[in-house]
Structure 1
Amino acid sequence: MIATAEPGVPDPTRTVPLSLREQADVRDRWLTQRLLDVLPGLMDRAEIDLWVVIGREYNEDPVLPTLLPATWLSARRRTILLFHRSDDGVTAAAVSRYPVGQFLSSWDADEQPGLTAEESQWTAVRRFVDQAAPRTIGVDVSATFAHADGLAHTEHDLLVQALGPHAEELVSAEQLAVGWLETRLPEEIAALHALNRLAHEVIDEAFSPAVITVGETTALDVAWWIRQRFADLGVDAWFQPTVGLQRAGSPLADERGTVLPGVRYDAVIEPGDLVHCDVGLSSLGLMTDTQRNAYVLRPGEGAAPAGLVAALGVGNRMQDLTTAALQPGRTGDEVLAAARAAAAAAGIDGDVYSHPVGVHGHGAGPAIGMWDQQDGVPGAGSAPVHPDTVYALELCVRVPVAEWGGQLVRMALEQGIALTAAGVEYLDQRQTELILIPSA
């Protein structure tokens, strides 16, 4: 069941996007809940007593925006956030020139007139660390995940200098940062149901006569329409939407899905085309990532060719095999290997390249293949799968279509899913039928 907001509280589960002010209320409420309910367990799992997140204006750590109040669109001057794990929970403190929402203020820049503002700020950090006496101090440095590698070189040097002997306690906070970014509250998952539903509704509208005039409209026209529609609805596209075509007798991609030289994505949409889109929107600090397929009916046709319908069914079967392999405790590479082995046993020719999605479109967490790395992904593929996470279930299958003279069709699908203790659930609904676009 999808949770709904209390009366009088902005409801992030409705399809109509919230106003910016309502979004801020929701995001701040989520932040409070995440600091109370999510962060303590993540710090325990990573064995980190003190987490230090630092960012300067225009050079923010990727984690920093997820910790700031919704009205803070960036760091201000140098913003330092400290999270101390104790028996009482997590103390969240800010060493910043300006108050940072609900964070405990741990610095008065005017209390030490003999020091510069920078010296005073780092002195306040040292004082907090002395009082906390942590065994481990986590900082965002990582060779694997860019999301967890946000501590700038200058800030690292200044932090080490300020910590003095405490610098020996510095450790990578990679596991903690990834966990913070990938873990979703039930309320966030409920909101992602609505955001994915909105993406699906926009795609349905894009793949209709309201947007497409067969024989005139190009694939590029549709891609730009989708982006403009997102903007008109008050949500952002986190990447440029793409729309591509496959056509009997003149495929726009080879059997591996590689775009051929000279192929244009602004080709005119014609009867008999298989139309594919890849779109992602952003709202409430969360992302979606979706791919769907449509068929342009030829004059007199009332349904898509059976071979294309069957190809979509094979894609759905590949989704089933992948979600069955997506089990907490496995690594991304282990999920990939299990899904591909099951596909091979079922006689399916396909690739899996799924990834976490949430705070970032290509999110922190285990990579489950990449389109060009089907034997495992060094580094990110070894990350473990955890519950309460969201993925873009992204994959493709290659199926010969009899009605197209045995030509291979690449059926690519991408669908948001949530992995919880109850198993895998689709965010809104996955595509099980081709969208039909009439020619007239």
Structure 2
Amino acid sequence: MTLVVPDPTRTVPLPLREQADVRDRWLTQRLLDLLPGLMDRAGIDLWLVVGREGSEDPVLPTLLPATWLSARRLVVLVLHRSDDGVTPVAVSRYPVGQYLPGWSPEDDGTEDGGDADGDERALWAAVRRIVTQADPRRIGIDVSAGCPLADGLSVAEHRLLAGALGDLADRLVSAEDLVVGWLETRLPEEVAALDALARLTDRVLAEVLSPAALVPGLTTAADLAWAVHERLADLGTPPWFHPGVTVQRAGVPLRPDSGVDLPAVPQDAVLEPGDLVTCDAGLSSLGLATDLQRSAYLLRPGEDAAPAGLRQAWAASRRAQELTAAALVPGRTGNEVLADARAATAAEGLPTDVYSHPVGVHGHGAGPAIGRWDDQRGVPGDGDRVLHPGTVFAVELAVRVPVPEWDGQCLRLALEEQVVLTRTGTAPLGRPQRELWTVPADQP
């Protein structure tokens, strides 16, 4: 496995220990360079992120050192915005990496013997002291009715926090916009890593959609899905979802499903020459995720290329993807991008469903949603979020095209590639699939 490290001139295999070093350097840089502007944009003076072991806030791992795999009892991260930047303080029984210690068991607050309940009372008292000294106007906490990734503060911890803050609890506000900004914005070094990880994802899918793993007349769609899963796990870059494999075949029309026609060939069906196979997969590494789709046509005996109708469908989908990527403009909302992309594809006679999304820390990441596969009317809430530079998007869509060689049967050709949003548009990541892949027929 090769991954890009912060030195862009060097691509090397990274053992887990080196990956941890990279992630910790990224965290320091993000706290110094990104967080102040994000807090200003959200209007948050102090951000409290609370996590208890076994009850993890989704944003907490993105703020902890790489070797912290859980909250370790109770930890409260206090991120205070001041004229000097952001001061990161951890109120925890254990030291937390690059955070300043806000309390230790030896502090004066542990006079009742250092038992677990006494330690927690002292810990919450330390939180109160720090917040009182900072005297923030707006204290952000991770509660949200509309964004699950920003709703990580449990009911019990919310109650304990409010009780510890006393009258300062009146200043508590949702940190939803801050959480989304923190999760969606990538450093240039992170973008470089996502580029390398997208290439790795592409490589694995190319291996699986080839005679090395796919034998027409023997392999099933489920076999391919597990082959991708196993290969990613073997590389130390496990998938964040079980890979999906869809098969389309002449004589097996699409089936209506929630108003959207979907492929009808079952997962346990043996793949045959003449099938179109699409694989959807994403890996996780360095605290980041990918999300890509690749398609291949299984050649019939005597064929050296896919039928012209399939190639034209592929070209139509590629064009729809170009038009959708062109609609990704900073300052627009996700719903505006959806409307513009659908208008642009419709103007060229391309019946397209657009369902693109941010990708980064999470495969289906925080940020502007651009349609849903089963609803093209816009996404309430997340669809109203504004696009910002530094966000990586999975440009995901499907175009329905009749195929003459299939007696006019409709094909739903799905594509998914990753791009990074810049100040002027988008730049592709990884190695985009330019042509429809082919798998030769089994030769005796």
TM-score range, shorter chain: over 0.9
Work out whether residues 140 and 172 of structure 1, in 8 Å CA contact, stay in contact via their aligned partners in 2.
yes
Equivalent position of 1:114 in the other structure: 111
Q: CA deviation at 1:169?
A: 1.0
> Quick one: distance in 2 between partners of 1:402 and 1:254?
21
- Return the offset for 1:397: 0.2
Query: Which region of structure 1 is more displaced relative to structure 2, 318-327 or 122-131?
Result: 318-327
TM-superposed CA distance for 1:421, in Å, is 2.1
Structure 1: any 5+ residue segments left out of the alignment? none
Alpha carbons 2:326, 2:425 under 8 Å: kept: no
Structure 2: where are the runs of 5+ without partners? Answer: 113-117
The alpha carbon displacement at 1:229 in A equals 0.4
* CA spacing shift, 1:390–1:68, aligned 2, 3 Å: same
Distance 1:362 1:300 in 2: 41
Task: Tell me, yes or no, if the aligned pair for 2:248 and 2:263 is still in contact at 8 Å.
Answer: no
Q: 1:319 aligns with which of 307, 318, 321?
A: 321
Structure 1 residue matching 2:397: 3-state secondary structure:
strand
- Aligned equivalent of 2:76: 80
1:403: how far off? 0.9
Measured in 2, the distance between the counterparts of 1:351 and 1:64 equals 34
Pick one of 31, 38, 42 that aligns with 1:35: 31
Return the match for 1:213 from 212, 215, 230.
215
2:354 is aligned to: 352
Report the CA distance between 1:253 and its aligned residue: 4.2
**What code does the residue aligned with 2:356 have?**
S
Structure 1 residue matching 2:420: 3-state secondary structure: strand
Alpha-carbon RMSD across the aligned residues, in angstroms, is 1.7
Match of 1:363 in 2: 365
Is structure 2 residue 442 aligned with structure 1 residue 426? Answer: no
How many matched pairs? 432
2:104 is aligned with 1:102: no
Cα drift, residue 141 of structure 1? 0.8
- 2: CA distance between counterparts of 1:409 and 1:341? 21
Q: CA deviation at 1:158?
A: 1.0
Structure 1 residue 4 displacement after superposition: 5.7
Other-structure match for 2:192:
190
Q: Secondary structure at the match of 1:265?
A: coil
Q: How does 1:28-427 map to 2 (within 5 A)?
A: 28-111=24-107, 112-115=109-112, 116-251=118-253, 253-254=255-256, 256-260=260-264, 263-427=265-429
State how far apart, in whole Å, the 1-side matches of 2:244 and 2:6 are: 34
Q: What is the CA deviation profile of residues 325-363 of structure 1, one whole-angstrom value per residue up to 9, with x for unaligned ones?
A: 111111111110111111111111110001111101111
Paired residues of 1:296 and 1:438 also in contact (CA < 8 A): yes
> SS of the residue aligned with 1:330?
coil
1:83-110 per-position Cα deviation (integer Å, ceiling 9, x unaligned): 0000101000000000000100010223
> More displaced, 108-117 or 187-196?
108-117
Q: Could you tell me how far apart the structure 2 residues matched to 1:305 and 1:299 are?
A: 13
The Cα shift of 1:254 comes to 4.9
Asked if the contact 1:332/1:366 (under 8 Å) is kept, the reply is yes
Task: Tell me by how many angstroms 1:429 deviates.
Answer: 2.6
**Distance in 1 between the 2:269 and 2:428 partners?**
32
SS of the aligned residue for 1:68 comes to coil
Distance 1:129 1:5 in 2: 35
**CA-to-aligned-CA distance 1:250-275 (integer Å, 9 cap, x gap):** 23645933354xx4212111111101
After superposition, give the CA deviation of every residue in 1:18-69 in whole Å (9 maximum; x if it has no partner): 2211110110010011001000000010111100000100111100000000
8 Å CA contact retained: 1:218, 1:268: yes
Matched residue type, 2:182: W
TM-score (norm 1): 0.95
Looking at structure 2, the residues matched to 434 and 412 of structure 1 have their Cα atoms a distance apart, in angstroms, of: 12
Moved more, 413-422 or 307-316: 413-422
Counterpart secondary structure, 1:245: strand
Structure 1 residues 3 and 264 mapped into 2: Cα distance closer, same or farther (>3 Å)? closer
Q: Counterparts of 1:421 and 1:126 in 2: how far apart (Å)?
A: 41
Corresponding residue for residue 115 of structure 2: none
* One-letter code aligned to 2:99: F
Partners in 2 of 1:246 and 1:334 — Cα distance? 32
Identical-residue share of aligned pairs (%): 62
Give the Cα–Cα distance (whole angstroms) in 1 for the partners of residues 348 and 357 of structure 2. 23
